């Protein structure tokens, strides 16, 4: 199914009313859309139904969107409380997956989700969702974000009946945050429905400037200094218009970079006219984490799937690079990027 139908909304309403314990999950290393959709879903359920509603996530990252959890309920994080997180999923009467194409993107939560016999609902905007596991699948790529799709869906619920002001300000703020981050503050993936959703939220009183300040103007100085260093001295551009940055563990430590503080750096090289794709690589635990962004007409997803064990959206994807499987040593990442992008664009033309 694409968007939620009125009939399906009625069914969800009766399901939400019956379930004792609902667990809401999203992808590992949650970003604004993940955190925003989880908090909005929880607030909607808390505001309208009895029972227990819990957000369970694989891990927390140091991102500006964590302010949402202050009024959305602190999640149970698997990396901090594995037993509690596992038990919550095992006991759940309903599992709602948000902003993931399937359980595989939820990190350590995956095996508990797959083992659960509870009904499972998906709200997501990624390519190629895993269909078999979900009892209700709301999946649409013609939206900016999961938050936009969730807003569209919540408006169809009987108690909301199209009236934005019946959603709490906390729920709407969380939704607006996810839309703001997934569109890079309305720089990409903006559909007519995106602006209609935002217009409704603004009219209902959401403080967009406060969100923008939280998300874009509360970085630590270290991140901005690292960004300057990377753009000035580390970024390279191939003859095919692929900009790439490989951030070593050593540089990361030198700038005291914390988990989550590298968010968005991959977008910057796209500001150069001749660059059609940007690849950002950094060391993670035992592998290299890859972020890919592209301009219209070039597929970030295609290259992520083919060469980086990943996927995502057409113009924004991610993946991983393993050694010695993909490259002999981690130091070979730059050569690998040059080789595979050269091959990819040769085949494309
Ligand atoms: P980011 O570069 O911000 O980490 O991720 C960009 C997009 O790619 C996100 O929509 C995310 O869901 C997707 N993505 C990131 N890492 C992976 C991965 O390892 N596998 C897949 N299939 N998608 C990923
Ligand atoms: Mn998203």
Q: How far is the CA of 325 from the centre of ligand 1 (A)?
A: 20
For the chain, how long is the longest CA-to-CA vector? 59
Dist. CA 105 → ligand 1 center (Å): 9
The kind and range of the H/E element at 32 are helix 32-48
Instruction: Find all residues with CB under 8 Å of 132, minimum gap 6, and list them.
Output: none
Average pLDDT of span 213-234? 96
* Of 61-75, 96-110, 331-345, minimum mean pLDDT range: 61-75
Give the separation between CA 315 and CA 338, rounded to whole angstroms: 19
Nearest to 122 by CA among 136, 133, 109, 110: 136
Mean pLDDT over 166-178 rounds to: 97
Quick one: what percent of the chain has pLDDT higher than 90?
93
- Of all protein residues, the one whose alpha carbon is nearest to atom 15 of ligand 1 is 318
Of residues 151 and 258, more confidently modeled: 151
Out of 91-95, 195-199, 344-348, pick the least confident. 344-348
Sign of the four-CA dihedral 180, 52, 97, 18: negative
pTM confidence score:
0.94
The per-residue DSSP string of 244-288 comes to EEEE-HHHHHHTTPPTTTTTTGGGGGGGSTT--EEEEEEE-SSSE
Say what the pLDDT of residue 66 is: 87
Give mean pLDDT, residues 29-56.
97
Nearest CA to ligand 1 atom 5: 318
Residues ≥6 apart with Cβ < 8 Å to 93: 19, 20, 21, 22, 51, 118
The reported pLDDT for the residue numbered 50 is: 97
- Distance (angstroms) between ligand 1 centre and the Cα of 11 equals 32
Averaged pLDDT, 40-61: 96
Mean per-residue pLDDT for 28-39?
96
> pLDDT tens, 308-317?
999 999 999 9
Token look-up 């069914």 returns 11
Tell me the CB-side half-sphere exposure of residue 329, using CA atoms within 13 A: 3
From 34, 310, 315, 326, mutation site for ligand 1 pocket: most ligand atoms within 8 A of C-beta:
310
Give yes or no for residue 170 having a pLDDT over 90.
yes
**Residues 132-147, mean pLDDT to the nearest whole number:** 97
Ligand 1 pocket mutation pick from 103, 183, 308, 311 by most atoms within 8 angstroms of CB: 311
pLDDT digits (tens, 9 = 90+) for 6-25: 999 999 999 999 999 999 99
Residue 290 CA: which ligand 1 atom is closest?
2
Which ligand sits closest to the CA of 101?
1
217-237 burial code (b ≥16 CB/10 A, e <16):
eeeeeebeebbeebbeeebee
Tell me whether strands 316-321 and 76-77 are parallel, antiparallel or unpaired.
Answer: unpaired
Q: State mean pLDDT over 36-53.
A: 97
**Separation between Cα atoms, residue 167 and residue 184, nearest integer Å:** 24
Confidence band of 349 (pLDDT split at 50, 70, 90): low
CA-wise closest residue to 234 among 270, 286, 281: 281
Distance (Å) of CA 268 to CA 92, 166, 255, 313, 325: 41, 38, 19, 18, 30
Do residues 78 and 107 touch, judged by C-beta distance below 8 A? yes
Nearest atom, ligand 1, residue 29 CA: 4
Q: Which residue has the tokens 């959206």?
A: 313
Which neighbouring-strand residues pair with 279? 244, 292
* SS3 call for 188: coil
The Cα–Cα gap between 42 and 34 comes to: 12
* Cα–Cα dist 244/303, whole Å: 14
- Indicate which atom in ligand 1 lies nearest the CA of residue 291: 2
Does residue 63 have a pLDDT over 90? no
Answer yes or no: is the C-beta of 269 below 6 A from any ligand 1 atom: no
């Amino acid at each position: 199914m694409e968007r939620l139908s009125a009939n399906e909304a009625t069914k969800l309403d009766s399901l939400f009313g019956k379930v004792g314990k609902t667990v809401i999950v999203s992808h590992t290393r949650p970003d604004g859309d993940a955190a925003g959709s989880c908090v909005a879903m929880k607030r909607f359920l808390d505001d309208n139904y009895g029972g227990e509603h819990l957000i369970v996530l694989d891990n927390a990252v140091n991102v500006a969107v964590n302010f949402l959890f202050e009024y959305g309920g602190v999640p149970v994080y698997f990396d901090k409380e594995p037993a509690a997180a596992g038990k919550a999923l095992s006991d759940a009467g309903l599992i709602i997956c948000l902003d993931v194409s399937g359980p595989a993107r939820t990190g350590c939560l995956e095996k508990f989700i797959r083992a659960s016999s509870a009904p499972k609902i998906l709200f997501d905007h990624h390519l190629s969702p895993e269909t078999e596991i979900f009892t209700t699948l709301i999946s649409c790529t013609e939206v900016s974000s999961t938050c936009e799709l969730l807003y569209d869906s919540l408006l169809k619920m009987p108690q909301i009946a199209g009236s934005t002001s019946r959603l709490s300000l906390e729920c709407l703020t969380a939704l607006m945050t996810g839309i703001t981050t997934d569109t890079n503050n309305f720089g990409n993936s903006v559909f007519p429905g995106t602006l209609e959703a935002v217009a409704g939220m603004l009219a209902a009183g959401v403080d967009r400037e406060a969100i923008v300040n939280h998300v874009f103007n509360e970085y630590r100085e270290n991140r901005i200094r690292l960004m300057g260093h990377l753009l000035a001295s580390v970024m390279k551009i191939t003859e095919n218009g692929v900009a790439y940055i490989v951030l070593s563990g050593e540089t990361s430590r030198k700038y005291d970079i914390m988990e989550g503080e590298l968010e968005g750096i991959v977008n910057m090289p796209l500001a150069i006219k001749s660059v059609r794709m940007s690849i950002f690589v950094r060391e993670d635990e035992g592998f290299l984490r890859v972020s890919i962004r592209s301009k219209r007409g070039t597929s970030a997803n295609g290259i992520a799937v083919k060469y980086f064990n990943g996927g995502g959206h057409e113009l924004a994807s991610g993946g991983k690079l393993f050694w010695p499987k993909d490259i002999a040593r981690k130091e070979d990442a730059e050569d690998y990027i040059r080789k595979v992008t050269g091959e990819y664009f040769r085949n494309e033309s």
